[in-house]
Amino acid sequence: MFSQNQKISGRQTFRLLTYDLLGLGTLMIPPFLARDAGTDGVFCIFLGIVAGVLYLKMLGVVLGDMNGSYPAYLEEKMGAFFGKLATCCYGIYFVCLAGYAAYLFTDAVLKHLLREESFYLVLAVVLALTAYGIWSGVEGRARVYEVLFWILLLPFFLILFSSVWDVRTDYWTPVFVTNAAGVWRGTYVVFVFFSMLTLVLFLGSYVQKKKALIKAGKMALFFCGGIFVVLYLLLVGIFGSPALAEMDFPAMIMMSTVQFTGGFLKRTDALMFGIWFFTLYAFLSSTAFYGQSALCHAFFGEKAAGAKKNGCIVAALLAAAALAILFYRDNTSIAVFENIIGYVATPFLVLIPALLAVAVKFTGRGAKRAAALVMLCIFCAPLCGCNTAELEDKNFPIELAVSDIYDFGASFTNEENGGNKLADYSHLKVVVLEQDFYENERAMTAFLELLENKLEVPRNTYVVVAEDAKKIVGLEEKLGQSAGTYIEEMFENVTYIKKMAYPTLGTLYQEKKNRSETLLVPYLVVLDDKPVVDHYMVWKRGQAAGEIDNEMALLSAFTTNEMDEYTLALGSGEQVRLFDIKNEITFGTDKKGKRKVYVNVNCSGEVLYDEDLTAHNKQRLNEAIYSYMNQLARTARLEYRIDLADSFKKLGGGAREWYLDYRDTPQDYEKEVQLVYRGEICWVNF
């Protein structure tokens, strides 16, 4: 009755394949690529897409020749024995992938949603859902993804869009620095994920029109490829490629840093986990479904049903569960598995269709024998070689005073902050570090490593330094609100420095690996019973590197466009306000061939408190301002070894030759390269 709806449509196929590619790809491709190709990873994605298109073309040839199911076609082309063997291999491959997906899914749930829950319980729930999905058939699953498609992707795109403001484009450079082997590895990694498109062969017997299948595959490839490119650029831009390479599930970590305007949702990572919940489920249920179906076909034939089919489903799920538990208990097995996928399974996924495509072109008994022979070679080749606590039973520390690592460890495990309640650090706003602690490299390394593993601690927690951290935290009564909230509001609402200029735990974690930036950590003192910023502590290359006064810090923020407006008093007595700041940094040499970093000042200016503006001229004011800035920058460089423009991270994109010279000796860069301020200020009151 009605139209035939036992088979899936082109749109359903596209959405099904997109979900299959998206879940694992968004989680795993960025760190793999950052490791192999760094900032050039984005080109690897493009090359991976090209490889995927070629792969789909090849699959199209096979699909065009296929009449029934893919396993039946394998038997027809390779003979019963090798056909069954190949089907069996596909089955094992999919079941192993299902095990891997189940492990990742459960691991992600435990890390991001249920930190204290049992792995086995979550795994059981996940597999029960998978079983339900498999029993509901391809159409049932296809309908689920068809419904969910935009419901999940629209918020995902919204989050990606919101995270654009956190991107530092300097992290995108340098490009074309990765060697050919790195680019090849990166491209291959991307292709490994796209090789899941092999599913179109198995979908052949389920779709309404075969032509739509390859079209849907291509659309899914381009759609996911586009998302991977955007996501990779965002992740590199936010974390930097060295830090990205070390992260587990960076896309989820990014979600924890993105904040919507208005602050109704403090963190969105838990909510956005829904995307990976459904996409990983899609991947898991697809692989488990095709795994059991291939194995069922190999052992019981095409028309197996009833107990045999159910038996295959149960066996496939048990095998997947066993693998997931193996990965959980023995982490080294994950690397082994990933190598098998890369070196054995992916070539298998390419070679079998390639062989069949050749057979389509050259039909006949000879081709069948040749195919069987190649199959034999392929198979011989490896031989040569429940709930925590109630809301009212929790304590939500807003600020944390840290004076030594042991004290910190104790306070972190509730003894000081929690009292008789469970401490929930998800709302931590400020960490106040005692100066001695901050300057102790070992203590700071241990502190950051400890916190980095505690995903509940927000990455956007501000970090400040004080002589007596507990005194700052103890101001709560006098302030009428918690010191953490006060300091957060001070940074975000009151000061002219943009909030992105203030270091957070996240930027400290990243800088530990990126080692390319100079961070200025506010040093707080108590004035009139209120915390105020007295000066700034410098953090370079993962450790404390002295301190600078407010004047230098403000100039640094002005130089890097991290200020809304900059007021400075000149030696000649004038006070000027610079605003609408859009400075540019360029690299060049002077007449003597000496390397210089030019800060091309681009802003509007206003002379304050001066009734007789005619007494001034723009030229003289500009000279006075640039002289002041150049002098301050020179002092910073010579006395404090600080580059106020924080220009080292821009070298890759702006001065490739310099980058190659200084990439291993950044300290020389800070010592040798002079900062020069120049440009035109657009004066509004002349």
Partner 1 sequence: MAKTQEKTQISPVLKENIEHMEQLFCVCDDIKKKELILGENQDVPCYLMFIEVAIDMGKSTLNGLLKYLRGLKREEIIAALEKNAVGVSDATYFTTIEEAGDGLLTGDVILFVDGFTKAVKIPDGGYPNMGISEADSEKVIRGSNEGFCDSVKQNAALIRKRIRSPKVKVKQLFCGSRSHTCVYLTYIEDLVYPGLLEEIERRLTDFEIDGVLDSGVLEQLSEDKWYSPFPQFQTTERPDRAAMSILEGRVVLLSDNSPVALLLPTDYNSFVRTSDDYYNRWEIATFGRMLRYVASFFAMTLPGFYLALTNFHTQILPTTLLLAFADARQGVPFPAVIEVIIMELSFELLREAGVRLPGAMGNTIGIVGGLIIGQAAVEANLVSPIVVIVISFTALCSFAIPNEEFATAFRVLKFALILLSAWLGYFGMLAGLLAILIHLANLKSFQIPYLMPFVGADLNDYEDERDFLWRLPIRKITKRPIYARREERTKLIFGKKAGKG
- Nearest-approach distance from CB 91 to partner 1, in angstroms: 23
For partner 1, give the closer residue by CB, 131 or 360: 131
- Nearest-approach distance from CB 218 to partner 1, in angstroms: 18
Instruction: Note whether 1 binds partner 1 by CB under 8 A.
Output: yes
For partner 1, give the closer residue by CB, 4 or 332: 4
Give the SS3 label for residue 327. helix
Residue selected from 329, 380, 392, 611 as contacting partner 1 according to rule CB under 8 A: 392
Size of the site for partner 1 (CB under 8 A): 62
Instruction: Note whether 398 binds partner 1 by CB under 8 A.
Output: yes
For partner 1, give the closer residue by CB, 332 or 387: 387
For partner 1, give the closer residue by CB, 117 or 248: 117
- Nearest-approach distance from CB 388 to partner 1, in angstroms: 7
- Nearest-approach distance from CB 165 to partner 1, in angstroms: 19
Q: 595-608 and 584-589: which strand pairing? A: antiparallel
- Rounded CA separation 34/242 (Å): 7
Q: Provide the 8-state DSSP code for 165.
A: G
Residue selected from 3, 420, 493, 614 as contacting partner 1 according to rule CB under 8 A: 3
Residue selected from 64, 140, 382, 474 as contacting partner 1 according to rule CB under 8 A: 140
Binding to partner 1, residues 203-232 (CB under 8 A): 208
Binding to partner 1, residues 6-65 (CB under 8 A): 9-12
- Nearest-approach distance from CB 12 to partner 1, in angstroms: 7
Place of tokens 């089907």: 87
Check if the beta carbon of residue 596 is closer than 8 Å to that of residue 641: no
DSSP code per residue over 57-116: HHHHHHHHH--S-HHHHHHHHH-HHHHHHHHHHHHHHHHHHHHHHHHHHHHHHHHHT-TT
Q: What are phi and psi of 30, to 5 degrees?
A: -55, -50
CA angle 486, 492, 494 (to 5 degrees): 75
- Nearest-approach distance from CB 270 to partner 1, in angstroms: 4
Binding to partner 1, residues 408-437 (CB under 8 A): 424, 426-427, 429
Residue selected from 54, 125, 322, 684 as contacting partner 1 according to rule CB under 8 A: 125
- Rounded CA separation 540/520 (Å): 9
Check if the beta carbon of residue 100 is closer than 8 Å to that of residue 293: no
Check if the beta carbon of residue 267 is closer than 8 Å to that of residue 458: yes
Q: What share of the chain is helix, strand, coil (3-state, %, to 5)?
A: 65, 15, 20
- Nearest-approach distance from CB 211 to partner 1, in angstroms: 14
Residue selected from 22, 34, 148, 673 as contacting partner 1 according to rule CB under 8 A: 148
Check if the beta carbon of residue 251 is closer than 8 Å to that of residue 27: yes
Instruction: Note whether 136 binds partner 1 by CB under 8 A.
Output: yes
Buried b (16+ CB within 10 A) or exposed e, 450-482: ebbeebebbbbbbbbbbebbebbbebbeeeeeb
Place of tokens 């107990």: 307
Paired tokens of 302: 């095409």
Using the contact rule CB under 8 A, the part of the chain among 125-133, 538-546, 554-562, 597-605 near partner 1 is 125-133
- Rounded CA separation 147/143 (Å): 6
Using the contact rule CB under 8 A, the part of the chain among 277-285, 312-320, 371-379, 660-668 near partner 1 is 277-285
Instruction: List Cα–Cα distances, 592 to 588, 595, 596, 662, 677, in angstroms.
Output: 11, 9, 11, 20, 18
For partner 1, give the closer residue by CB, 1 or 383: 1
- Nearest-approach distance from CB 142 to partner 1, in angstroms: 8
- Rounded CA separation 669/675 (Å): 11
- Nearest-approach distance from CB 446 to partner 1, in angstroms: 24
- Nearest-approach distance from CB 528 to partner 1, in angstroms: 25
For partner 1, give the closer residue by CB, 67 or 388: 388
Residue selected from 58, 72, 129, 230 as contacting partner 1 according to rule CB under 8 A: 129
Place of tokens 């005073």: 401
Instruction: Note whether 310 binds partner 1 by CB under 8 A.
Output: no
CA angle 678, 679, 682 (to 5 degrees): 135
Instruction: Note whether 609 binds partner 1 by CB under 8 A.
Output: no
Binding to partner 1, residues 478-507 (CB under 8 A): 485
Instruction: Note whether 529 binds partner 1 by CB under 8 A.
Output: no
**Closest by alpha carbon to 587, among 680, 658, 663?**
658
Query: Contact residues for partner 1 (CB under 8 A)?
Result: 1-3, 5, 9-12, 109, 113-114, 117, 122, 125-126, 129, 132-133, 136-137, 139-144, 146-148, 208, 256, 263-271, 273-274, 277-278, 281, 386-392, 394, 396, 398, 424, 426-427, 429, 456, 458, 485
